[in-house]
Structure 1
Amino acid sequence: MSNNPLVSICIPCYNAALYINKTIESIIKQTYPNIEIIIVDDGSTDNSVLLILKQIETSHISINLIKQENKGQCYAANVAFKSAKGEYIKFLDADDLINETHIELQVLALEKTKNCIAAGQVKRFYNNNIENSLEEKLANWANLTPIDWLLIDNGKGLGMMQCAMFLIPRSILDKTGLWNEALSLINDFEFFPRVLLAADEILFTEEAKVYYRSGTLNSLSNILSVKALKSAFEALRLTTAKILAIEDSERSRQVLGNYWSLWAYHFYPKTQDLFEEANNQIITLTGKKFKPNHSGFSQTIAFILGWKLTKRLKDFQIKQ
């Protein structure tokens, strides 16, 4: 490539000692020649910082380490961006991996046009075994307008929004603002729709791959605090208003109704007020009250006892 604009990779890091070396190595191996890494250590209590410092000593590319007290992922991501000098920005979790041509392919796509965002392919893997990564072709694997990219697969909800998949021009972030520091849970659900909708087009770069560690949570409603659940509610509220302001249609209402239904289930019974407000959102969007989808033995129990008591019993069982 004759023109190599600087790409800044912003990494919030908290207790990522098990993964941070591999994440940095995947960036160092990039075929694209003009990259800087900004890592904000958000008060880690493990040896993440020591591992990062060792990488800095041996790396041929710029790695800037910023240490701060623990203030949350959004705050750390914003600090990283404010220190970044690149024309293009990628937010990367401290345990993500990207393939060697990832940055080169996304820059090439963006350099051909203006005011667009590149979106790569996400491949999930489990048990630290990248060789068993899963590929699921999605409906938005195409060049699309932002609203179509978000809504096209309306049976499953908004399009995948894993942060490392996107390469974003700084000029777009200057218009939209940064991560909402009042949010902690599903903060990406608020951030990325806001950013994507400021672009003219989302450019799909299929061979720019992100390898995303994934696992199974037994029950979000028992793991998450009330504060976290309030964050999820606010992220949903903000994104609902944003999307409906651009397209108030059957498909947008169905997509948003699906998300409110998912979180209504998690809100109950820990945050009864949020559950009631979520139910009101579902009624407004779809014309129907919230009704959870149970399967297997839970479906049988819910038929006998009702879904609310079934949910309470499941939550109690997980706590034991």
Structure 2
Amino acid sequence: MMKTPTFPLVSICIPIYNGEAFLAKALASVTTQTYPNLEVVVSDDRSSDASLAIVEQFQQEVDFPVRIFSHEPQGIGANWNHCVAKAKGQYIKFLFQDDVLLPTCVEKMVEAFQQFPEVGLVACKRDFILNKEKDEATERWLKSFGDLQAHLEGDDQNLLFLDHRIYGRKDFLKSPKNIVGEPTTVMFSRNIINKIGWFREDFKQSLDYEFYYRVLVFSQILILPEVLVQFRLHEKQATEVNRSNKILDYDLYPEIVYQSYKKFLHPEVRKELWRKYSVTGRIITKFGL
């Protein structure tokens, strides 16, 4: 007897702030999804442009729930967390206001969870939408970060399973530090929050992969080989703004890795971080011992 497929609720979480330029295209990509059980949760950081009007119009046009929440801005991480906190779905699928989901994205990610219940987060490959001139800097970025898993090997089906052993790689702290993907590339089980906590609200740039690596302490992450999303590159995206304003938290990240995952680290990496972040190590380094 054939097993009847189940379709657990998936929450498409869209944190927004002044996203009118591309928001309608992001929302339109939700309507193309082949997966039948969706809700959209929008968390707005008091946008001053037409973002809310675009979402409200979308709400009137679709036949699935669209819930909109507006609140005082408290930073990127707080907006992400606010969006997830309002979600009702078993699975959380981020979609950022600049990006696009391809039609089978949600369907294939839910199938992956059902096939591999030990997985806590599923990610996918991504293509790029260029809304900026493809200059030398963009070429360098695409060469370095176009395929975040290029240095890793999957199984015979090109499925890449990550677990806590990834911390033991000698190149773990080398670029790219994010080997999973931007938030639009991932879906995670709602109950993983109960195990690892929320996104760090004191981070502005690396809060996504800091979250992913906490997931790996408790469960696997699966990277699917298919391109299921499109990630938009443009001058006003958060990464570019943070870089231009020198609002980067990369300097905090190695110490967090040392304090949180030292028992998993490669011995050479652990020793290097020990010299920087332990009291004894700093003394020895200072006096050249």
Which TM-score bucket, shorter chain as reference?
0.7 to 0.9
Q: Do structure 1's residue 204 and structure 2's residue 223 form an aligned pair? A: yes
For structure 2, which runs of at least 5 residues remain unmatched after alignment?
Answer: 134-141, 155-159
Alignment partner, residue 33 of structure 1: 36
CA contact (8 A) 2:13 2:92 kept: yes
For structure 1, which runs of at least 5 residues remain unmatched after alignment?
Answer: 258-278, 290-320
Quote the offset at 1:139 in angstroms. 3.1
TM-score by length of 1: 0.69
Which structure has greater helix proportion?
Answer: 1
One of 160, 163, 167 as aligned partner of 1:146: 163
CA distance in 1, matches of 2:41, 2:67: 5
- The SS at the match of 2:84 is helix
CA distance in 2, matches of 1:115, 1:74: 27
Stretch deviating more after TM superposition (15-24 or 158-167): 158-167
CA contact (8 A) 1:9 1:36 kept: yes
Q: Do structure 1's residue 54 and structure 2's residue 57 form an aligned pair? A: yes
CA contact (8 A) 2:123 2:180 kept: no
* Percent of matched pairs sharing the same residue: 25
CA distance in 1, matches of 2:10, 2:26: 16
CA contact (8 A) 1:96 1:211 kept: yes
- Say what the alpha-carbon RMSD is for the aligned residues: 3.5
1:204-261: CA deviations, max 9, x gaps? 222252211125788966522xxx34x443344323432323x12157559x98xxxx
Alignment partner, residue 214 of structure 2: 194
Q: 1:16 to 1:175 in 2, by over 3 A?
A: same
Query: 2:58 is aligned with what amino acid?
Result: Q
TM-score by length of 2: 0.76
CA distance in 2, matches of 1:220, 1:109: 34
Q: Do structure 1's residue 179 and structure 2's residue 199 form an aligned pair? A: yes
CA distance in 2, matches of 1:128, 1:24: 21
Quote the offset at 1:128 in angstroms. 6.9
Q: Do structure 1's residue 123 and structure 2's residue 111 form an aligned pair? A: no
1:47-71: CA deviations, max 9, x gaps? 1111111111101221111011222
Query: 2:245 is aligned with what amino acid?
Result: I
Quote the offset at 1:150 in angstroms. 6.4
Query: 2:251 is aligned with what amino acid?
Result: F
One of 220, 241, 247 as aligned partner of 2:259: 241
- The SS at the match of 2:161 is coil
Aligned residues: 259
- How do 1:159-308 residues align onto structure 2 when only pairs under 5 Å count? 159-199=179-219, 201-215=220-234, 223-224=245-246, 228-229=247-248, 231-245=249-263, 247-250=264-267, 280=276
CA distance in 2, matches of 1:19, 1:175: 34
